[in-house]
């Protein structure tokens, strides 16, 4: 299992030493726990006196509650009580999903339960508290509501029309946020262009579909004035602040525990009304309250994402050099901006990231974000990337075709050269340590495009449409305080690690980074063991508990390895220094003649060493044996944050080959290739899993996933049978390789790797499909690219 | 997503199950539960009682009786797929069942359950109709045998009476010149099809003598395309002509994954796919 070794970072030392774990594909220990069913998820938790809640949710996208009668429900068997907005509001202050750093955002106050007007199908309006969930659901059926349905603003494209339904009358119209980026002079540059190409792309809403649905157990202890929240979220310290602020509890007395979490994808990093209501009820009643979203609730209340319509224009000179790019993006986010990260970020990233791999001297981008009566939309894995990459790469393909050069040639002609960093995106965001040229070269070697071109021709003769695509992209990872903190959000961009040697010789590590199934715990352990010189099995890790870990941001935006990992590295190095100082004192020798290998302090020139257990026993139990003045500190803590730039970018090149059945419109992905440059890979196998899993989620967006709504704003496919996620049969061979450019921002040199697959796959698949369809002069411009859309494009139906 | 309260009766024999069912109109038979239990949890169905027949002995037998192969109602899809007799005498059914959902579902879902539920998008009802299968129903008045093509009346509506339980399906064995050929088009493997076709073909000197075309996932029940089959026998495959004929004899009903227009197109090209398979 550990035969893949790729540590190419001189700052980390050679791989030929004992305990060199960074860069090795070691199996992760917690995978075994989960295979054995030994994980502990929120729903596994049973506390004494615990009650369960179920929510009555709006059946309409837009309606007014004329009256609500919960009296019969209160008498339903097993029911403790039934609350509507006013009972909850007493215990939970409202929130507003706006931030200050991105220009004016307008979103009204939101409360856990809607009081009078409901604005999306699934918005909670009443909550039953009962002995178990089934009894709570029984009672929901006898709550009487007198509804007056209102016209719904479902379509984002008409949301700003004069006759649109204004969802929040106090705002005057449905505009949430807008931003314009203008670099250079696009109009002038388009005039000077040899060729100008245009396209407009549509992206359907989809959602994260985590294996474990959202859940919370809130436990208010009145005597201590303390609330403990067991929560399957991604950012415990952010939630600590949120709970303290809105439930009016001393922040120091809010404990958030997020241990095993079954997938998150950005879905679980937001504040949800039902979870806030559950916490408020616990405070009101002084009893533990459990809420677990069922799958239907997940589909209608977990945040959705994407939902963009974007038009773009690209101008090139005679040789294919890009002179100008212009995009105009519209997105619909449901009736509220999500709290606390806001629903502006996806569009903001579309504007930031479009054209990012290329030198584009003139760039204009306009983003418009509107309200609509659908489930709220917010950040989901690869925020904004699929839209930015798809519009850029579609335009680049069109330009190549128009002036008659190869798809890869036009890209190579326009890349920011690998030796020209630091640099900037066309929108002006700083870029460092990227390798588009080397990554594309590697990709082309893997793909053999000449061979694919030949297959294309021979397959066409047989009636099969074959096509391929190649794309390049930048991936946002390791955000700095300039992402959220600067705008006023209490979201830490710093992460901490604390590591100690215990009396038994064991190492305990705690980190503010969290684990949701991606293997965070494993890489933290690898870094600690590698840097300390101890075996993997001597390190124990604690994550996801605000009472037990250092303060920090948690896991989102691919920040675990690059930020949290660096903190672990620094803490481990400090602890090692302390260990060597003590050992030098005990062994009465020069510290520089000592090292730690295999849990033992060794003399580099031979001779007997002492084990870490012996050392720890001396310090902890027989401290009198130490020379006077020896520092007995076997605990070290370190922090890390990215300074000065908004993000540490990663880059990726991807290719795929597809074939289309002209009779059925079914697209088969024959093969998929990805080259990722995420700097140091701490565990290459886990990086590969991130890329492959991401690609598969991207295949979902490209070909399958869509939250289907009818004209009245009712979601039509809120089940796992009807909402199509790719499954084993839909997963192609995915070949992953790497270019390694270490980040200069840290010793460890790691950048994030979690976004690229999801961000790039939709673009390369769409390009490959259009490469195939172009043989017949056809194209598709709307994702997911369903068989019906293909057949329509082909004129078959 | 918790089921409303219901009572539960574990039947030890078919007579008890029939008796219980005849006494309670609101009771529902539980076999593999692969359609029923999700419906209960989503509160789309609220029966008074579940009569669990899964413990009744011998209701999962697969045996040859004269010119028929008889599949007991409780045989799971996996039982059928792994049965030697089926591999030998009705191998096409193995290929069809591979397209029914996924292994975990096939391990619980029953042959009789799928036939009795009558989901218009499911493979087995159309298969039974195409095969001219006989459906065995046991009720208070004894046993009744209904031709599959008369069994399906409308959307999830069958000829099953309230005191009856489907106990077995009898498939006539295919002769030397008879073939059951099947194909379907799905968004994902294991999904309900956008359109599917079961074709029972009788050859005479390599020419099609008789042809039955039975579609699934096209309308409210297995759709028989009699006139279109005649056109195929007489004139072979002609896309436009067959499409027109199908449009006139099937009321295609669109769903989330395919419009009625899409289904009509797929139904037409499926004939070509079947004919190509026949040539191979």
Question: Which DSSP string do the residues of A623-687 spell out, in sequence order?
Answer: GGGSPTT-----EEEEEE---SSS-EEEEEEEEEEEEE-TTT--EEEEEEEEEEE-BS-SSHHHH
* B135 located within any domain: yes
What is the nearest CA distance from A302 to chain B, expressed in angstroms? Answer: 16
Judged by CB atoms closer than 8 Å, whether chains meet at A726 and B189 is answered as no
What is the nearest CA distance from B270 to chain A, expressed in angstroms? Answer: 9
CA nearest A703 in B: which residue?
A: B187
Cβ neighbours of residue A429 closer than 8 Å, sequence gap 6 or more: A352, A356, A646, A647
Judged by CB atoms closer than 8 Å, whether chains meet at B188 and A730 is answered as yes
Residues 246-265 of B with CB under 8 A from A: 256-259, 261-262, 265
Q: Tell me the average pLDDT across A465-485.
A: 96
Are residues B166 and B74 located together in one domain of the fold? Answer: yes
Judged by CB atoms closer than 8 Å, whether chains meet at A663 and B194 is answered as no
Judged by CB atoms closer than 8 Å, whether chains meet at B256 and A708 is answered as yes
A729 vs B: CB within 8 A: yes
A796 vs B: CB within 8 A: yes
Residues 155-194 of B with CB under 8 A from A: 185, 187-192, 194
Residue A368 confidence (pLDDT) above 60:
yes
CA nearest B258 in A: which residue?
A: A788
Judged by CB atoms closer than 8 Å, whether chains meet at A788 and B262 is answered as yes
Question: What does the pLDDT read at residue A3?
Answer: 53
What is the nearest CA distance from A491 to chain B, expressed in angstroms? Answer: 34
CATH assignment, A304-482+644-793: 3.30.365.10
Local confidence band at A388 (pLDDT 50, 70, 90 cut-offs) = very high
B50 vs A: CB within 8 A: no
pLDDT digits (tens, 9 = 90+) for A289-313: 999 999 999 999 999 999 999 999 9
Question: What does the pLDDT read at residue A463?
Answer: 85
What superfamily would CATH give domain A42-150+209-301?
A: Aldehyde oxidase/xanthine dehydrogenase, a/b hammerhead (3.90.1170.50)
Q: Tell me the average pLDDT across A414-433.
A: 98
Residue A519 confidence (pLDDT) above 70:
yes
Residue A116 confidence (pLDDT) above 70:
yes
- Rounded CA gap, A496 and A571, in Å? 9
Are residues B44 and B67 located together in one domain of the fold? Answer: no
Local confidence band at A7 (pLDDT 50, 70, 90 cut-offs) = low
- Tell me which residue range forms the domain holding B149: 62-172
What is the nearest CA distance from A276 to chain B, expressed in angstroms? Answer: 21
Across the interface, of A132, A141, A704, the residue whose CB is closest to B187 is: A704
- DSSP code of residue A562: I
Bond into A422 cis (ω within 30):
yes
Q: Tell me the average pLDDT across B244-268.
A: 97
Question: What does the pLDDT read at residue A169?
Answer: 97
Q: Tell me the average pLDDT across B269-275.
A: 97
CATH number for position B40: 3.30.43.10
CA nearest A132 in B: which residue?
A: B2
Question: What does the pLDDT read at residue A543?
Answer: 97
pLDDT digits (tens, 9 = 90+) for A608-642: 999 999 999 999 999 999 999 999 999 999 999 99
Choose the mutation target among A78, A293, A663, A729 for the interface with B, i.e. most B CBs under 10 Å: A663
Are residues B149 and B200 located together in one domain of the fold? Answer: no
Judged by CB atoms closer than 8 Å, whether chains meet at B188 and A704 is answered as yes
Judged by CB atoms closer than 8 Å, whether chains meet at B256 and A666 is answered as no
Across the interface, of B43, B256, B261, the residue whose CB is closest to A797 is: B261
* B2 located within any domain: no
User: A494-640: which CATH topology?
Assistant: Aldehyde Oxidoreductase; domain 4 (3.30.365)
Question: What does the pLDDT read at residue A27?
Answer: 92
Residue A15 confidence (pLDDT) above 90:
no
Other beta carbons within 10 angstroms of residue A631's beta carbon come to: 11
Could you give the ipTM of this predicted complex? 0.96
Judged by CB atoms closer than 8 Å, whether chains meet at B265 and A295 is answered as no
pLDDT digits (tens, 9 = 90+) for A28-60: 988 999 999 999 999 999 999 999 999 999 999
Judged by CB atoms closer than 8 Å, whether chains meet at A729 and B189 is answered as yes
Judged by CB atoms closer than 8 Å, whether chains meet at B43 and A137 is answered as yes
Matching CATH topology for A304-482+644-793 and A494-640? yes
Q: Which residues of B touch A724 (CB under 8 A)?
A: 187-188, 191, 257
Q: Tell me the average pLDDT across A581-603.
A: 97
Question: What does the pLDDT read at residue A567?
Answer: 98
Q: Which residues of B touch A717 (CB under 8 A)?
A: 256
Q: Which residues of A touch B42 (CB under 8 A)?
A: 296, 719
Q: Which residues of A touch B3 (CB under 8 A)?
A: 134
Mean of pLDDT over chain B = 96
Question: What does the pLDDT read at residue A4?
Answer: 60
Question: What does the pLDDT read at residue B123?
Answer: 98
What is the nearest CA distance from B250 to chain A, expressed in angstroms? Answer: 17
Of A28-32, A156-160, A325-329, A533-537, give the lowest mean pLDDT range.
A28-32
Q: Token pair for residue B186?
A: 């799905």
B43 vs A: CB within 8 A: yes
Are residues B184 and B231 located together in one domain of the fold? Answer: yes
Local confidence band at A1 (pLDDT 50, 70, 90 cut-offs) = very low
Choose the mutation target among B3, B187, B194, B260 for the interface with A, i.e. most A CBs under 10 Å: B187
Across the interface, of A133, A717, A797, the residue whose CB is closest to B256 is: A717
Q: Which residues of B touch A729 (CB under 8 A)?
A: 188-190
Mean of pLDDT over chain A = 96
pTM over 0.90: yes
Q: Tell me the average pLDDT across A725-751.
A: 96
pLDDT digits (tens, 9 = 90+) for A663-693: 999 999 999 999 999 999 999 999 999 999 9
pLDDT digits (tens, 9 = 90+) for A179-213: 999 999 999 999 999 999 999 999 999 999 999 99
Q: Which residues of B touch A796 (CB under 8 A)?
A: 265
What is the nearest CA distance from A133 to chain B, expressed in angstroms? Answer: 7
* B57 located within any domain: no
Domain assignments of chain A as residue spans, ordered by start: 42-150+209-301, 304-482+644-793, 494-640
Q: Token pair for residue B11?
A: 């039947």
Instruction: Look at the alpha carbons of B172, B174, B177, B180 in this order and tell me if their dihedral is positive or negative.
Output: positive
Cβ neighbours of residue A415 closer than 8 Å, sequence gap 6 or more: A357, A358, A359, A436, A437, A440, A472
Across the interface, of B42, B188, B259, the residue whose CB is closest to A724 is: B188
Question: What does the pLDDT read at residue A76?
Answer: 98
Cβ neighbours of residue A724 closer than 8 Å, sequence gap 6 or more: A700, A704, A705, A706, B187, B188, B191, B257
Using CA atoms in the order A583, A586, A590, A595, what is the torsion angle rounded to 10 degrees?
Answer: -20
Q: Number of residue pairs across A and B with CB atoms under 8 Å?
A: 65
What is the nearest CA distance from A107 to chain B, expressed in angstroms? Answer: 32
Are residues B210 and B243 located together in one domain of the fold? Answer: yes
Are residues B74 and B44 located together in one domain of the fold? Answer: no
Cβ neighbours of residue A797 closer than 8 Å, sequence gap 6 or more: A788, A791, B259, B261, B262, B265
Question: What does the pLDDT read at residue A2?
Answer: 44
- Rounded CA gap, A763 and A411, in Å? 14
- Rounded CA gap, A41 and A230, in Å? 9
B104 vs A: CB within 8 A: no
A722 vs B: CB within 8 A: yes
A666 vs B: CB within 8 A: yes
Are residues B139 and B66 located together in one domain of the fold? Answer: yes
What is the nearest CA distance from B13 to chain A, expressed in angstroms? Answer: 31
CA nearest B267 in A: which residue?
A: A664
Domains contained in chain B, number: 3
Question: What does the pLDDT read at residue A787?
Answer: 98
DSSP β-ladder status, A322-332 and A362-370:
parallel
CATH number for position B121: 3.30.465.10
Residue B192 confidence (pLDDT) above 90:
yes
Q: What number of CA atoms fall less than 13 Å from residue B29's CA on the CB side? A: 30
CA nearest A77 in B: which residue?
A: B5
Judged by CB atoms closer than 8 Å, whether chains meet at A730 and B256 is answered as no
What is the nearest CA distance from B15 to chain A, expressed in angstroms? Answer: 33
A192 vs B: CB within 8 A: no
Q: Tell me the average pLDDT across B201-222.
A: 96
Choose the mutation target among A664, A702, A717, A792 for the interface with B, i.e. most B CBs under 10 Å: A664
Instruction: Choose one of B172, B207, B235: the last residue of a domain.
Output: B172
B1 vs A: CB within 8 A: yes
Instruction: Choose one of B138, B172, B206: the last residue of a domain.
Output: B172
Across the interface, of B42, B185, B265, the residue whose CB is closest to A797 is: B265
Q: Which residues of B touch A133 (CB under 8 A)?
A: 2
Residue B280 confidence (pLDDT) above 80:
no
CATH number for position B209: 3.30.390.50
Question: What does the pLDDT read at residue A5?
Answer: 64
Question: What does the pLDDT read at residue A396?
Answer: 98
């Amino acid at each position: 299992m550990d035969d893949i070794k790729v540590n190419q970072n001189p700052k980390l030392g050679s791989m030929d030493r004992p305990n060199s774990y960074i860069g090795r594909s070691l199996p992760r220990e917690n995978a075994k726990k989960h295979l054995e069913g030994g994980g502990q998820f929120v729903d596994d938790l049973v506390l004494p006196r615990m009650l369960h809640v179920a929510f009555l949710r709006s059946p309409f996208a837009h309606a007014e509650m004329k009256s609500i009668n919960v009296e019969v429900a209160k008498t339903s068997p097993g029911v403790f009580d039934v609350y509507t907005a006013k009972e909850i509001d007493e215990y939970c202050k409202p929130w507003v999903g706006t931030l200050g750093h991105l220009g004016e955002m307008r979103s009204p106050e939101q409360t856990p339960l809607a009081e009078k007007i409901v604005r999306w199908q699934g918005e909670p309006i009443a909550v039953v508290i009962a002995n178990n969930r089934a009894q709570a659901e029984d009672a929901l059926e006898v709550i009487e509501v007198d509804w007056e349905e209102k016209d719904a603003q479902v379509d984002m494209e008409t949301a700003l029309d004069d006759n649109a339904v204004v969802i929040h009358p106090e705002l005057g119209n449905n505009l949430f946020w807008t931003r314009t980026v203008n670099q250079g002079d696009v109009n002038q540059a388009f005039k000077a262009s040899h060729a100008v190409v245009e396209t407009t792309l549509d992206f359907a809403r989809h959602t994260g579909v985590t294996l474990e649905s959202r859940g919370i157990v809130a436990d208010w202890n009145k005597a201590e004035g303390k609330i403990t929240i067991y929560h399957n979220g991604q950012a415990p310290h952010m939630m600590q602040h949120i709970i303290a602020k809105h439930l009016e509890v001393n922040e120091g007395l809010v404990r958030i525990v997020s241990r095993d979490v079954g997938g998150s994808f950005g879905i679980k990093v937001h504040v949800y009304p039902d979870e806030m209501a559950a916490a408020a009820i616990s405070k009101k009643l002084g009893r533990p309250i459990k809420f677990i979203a069922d799958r239907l609730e997940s589909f209608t209340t977990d945040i959705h994402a994407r939902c963009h319509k974007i038009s773009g224009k690209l101008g090139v000179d005679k040789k294919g050099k890009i002179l100008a790019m212009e995009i105009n993006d519209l997105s619909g986010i449901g009736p509220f901006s999500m709290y606390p990260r806001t629903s502006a970020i996806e569009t903001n990233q579309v504007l930031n990231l479009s054209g990012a791999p290329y030198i584009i001297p003139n760039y204009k981008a306009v983003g418009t974000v509107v309200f609509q009566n659908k489930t709220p939309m917010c950040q989901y894995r690869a925020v904004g990337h699929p839209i930015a990459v798809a519009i850029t790469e579609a335009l680049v393909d069109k330009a190549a075709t128009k002036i008659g050069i190869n798809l890869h040639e036009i890209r190579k002609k326009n890349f920011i050269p690998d030796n020209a960093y630091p640099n900037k995106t066309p929108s002006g965001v700083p870029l460092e340590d990227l390798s588009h040229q080397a990554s594309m070269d590697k990709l082309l070697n893997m793909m053999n495009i000449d061979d694919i071109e030949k297959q294309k021709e021979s397959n066409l003769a047989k009636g099969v449409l074959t096509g391929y695509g190649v794309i390049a992209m930048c991936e946002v990872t390791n955000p700095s305080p300039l992402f959220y903190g600067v705008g006023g959000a209490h979201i830490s961009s710093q992460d901490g690690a604390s590591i100690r040697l215990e009396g038994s010789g064991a190492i305990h590590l705690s980190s503010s980074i969290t684990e949701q199934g991606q293997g965070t715990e494993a890489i933290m352990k690898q870094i600690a063991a590698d840097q300390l010189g101890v075996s993997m099995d001597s390190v124990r890790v604690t994550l996801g508990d605000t009472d037990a870990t250092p303060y920090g941001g948690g896991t989102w935006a691919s920040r675990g390895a690059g930020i949290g990992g660096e903190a672990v590295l620094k803490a481990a190095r400090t602890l090692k220094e302390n260990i060597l100082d003590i050992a030098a004192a005990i062994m009465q020798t020069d510290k520089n003649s000592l090292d730690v290998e295999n849990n033992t302090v060794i003399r580099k020139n031979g001779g007997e060493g002492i084990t870490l257990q012996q050392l720890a026993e001396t310090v902890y139990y027989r401290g009198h044996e130490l020379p006077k003045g020896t520092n007995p500190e076997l605990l070290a803590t370190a922090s890390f944050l990215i300074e000065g730039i908004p993000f540490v970018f990663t880059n990726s090149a991807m290719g795929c080959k597809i074939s289309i059945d002209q009779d059925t419109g079914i697209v088969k992905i024959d093969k998929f290739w990805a080259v990722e440059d995420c700097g140091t890979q701490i565990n290459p196998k886990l990086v590969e899993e991130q890329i492959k899993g991401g690609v598969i989620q991207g295949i979902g967006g490209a070909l399958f996933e869509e939250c289907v709504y009818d004209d009245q704003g009712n979601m039509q496919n809120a089940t796992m049978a009807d909402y199509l996620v790719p499954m084993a049969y839909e997963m192609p061979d995915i070949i992953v390789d790497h270019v390694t450019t270490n980040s200069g921002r840290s010793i460890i040199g790691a950048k994030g790797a979690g976004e690229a697959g999801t961000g790039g796959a939709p673009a390369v698949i769409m390009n490959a499909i259009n490469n195939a369809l172009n043989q017949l002069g056809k194209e598709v411009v709307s994702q997911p690219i369903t068989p019906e859309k293909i057949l329509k494009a082909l004129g078959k139906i | 997503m918790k089921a409303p309260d219901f009572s539960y009766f574990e039947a030890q024999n078919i007579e008890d199950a029939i008796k219980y069912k005849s006494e309670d109109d609101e009771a529902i038979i539980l076999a593999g539960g692969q359609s029923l239990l999700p419906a209960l949890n989503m509160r789309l169905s609220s029966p008074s009682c579940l009569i669990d027949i899964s413990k009744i002995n011998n209701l999962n037998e697969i045996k040859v009786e004269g010119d028929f192969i008889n599949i007991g109602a409780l045989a799971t899809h996996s039982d059928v797929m792994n049965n030697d007799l089926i591999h030998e005498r009705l191998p096409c059914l193995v290929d069809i069942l591979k397209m029914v959902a996924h292994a975990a579902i096939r391990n619980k879902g029953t042959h009789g359950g799928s036939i009795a539920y009558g989901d218009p998008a499911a493979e087995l009802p159309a298969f039974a109709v195409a095969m001219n299968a006989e459906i065995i129903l046991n009720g208070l008045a004894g046993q009744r045998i209904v031709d599959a093509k008369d069994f399906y009346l409308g959307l999830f509506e069958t000829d099953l009476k309230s005191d009856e339980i489907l106990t077995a399906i009898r498939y006539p064995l295919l002769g030397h010149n008879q073939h059951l050929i099947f194909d379907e088009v799905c968004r994902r493997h294991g999904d309900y099809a956008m359109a599917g076709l079961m074709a029972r073909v009788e050859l005479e000197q390599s020419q099609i003598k008789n042809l039955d075309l039975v579609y699934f996932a096209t309308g409210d029940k297995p759709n028989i395309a009699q006139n279109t089959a005649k056109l195929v026998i007489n004139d072979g495959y002609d896309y436009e002509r067959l499409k027109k004929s199908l449009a006139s004899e099937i009321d295609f009903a669109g769903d989330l994954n395919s419009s009625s227009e899409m289904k009509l197109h797929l139904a037409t090209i499926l004939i070509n796919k079947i004919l190509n398979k026949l040539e191979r």
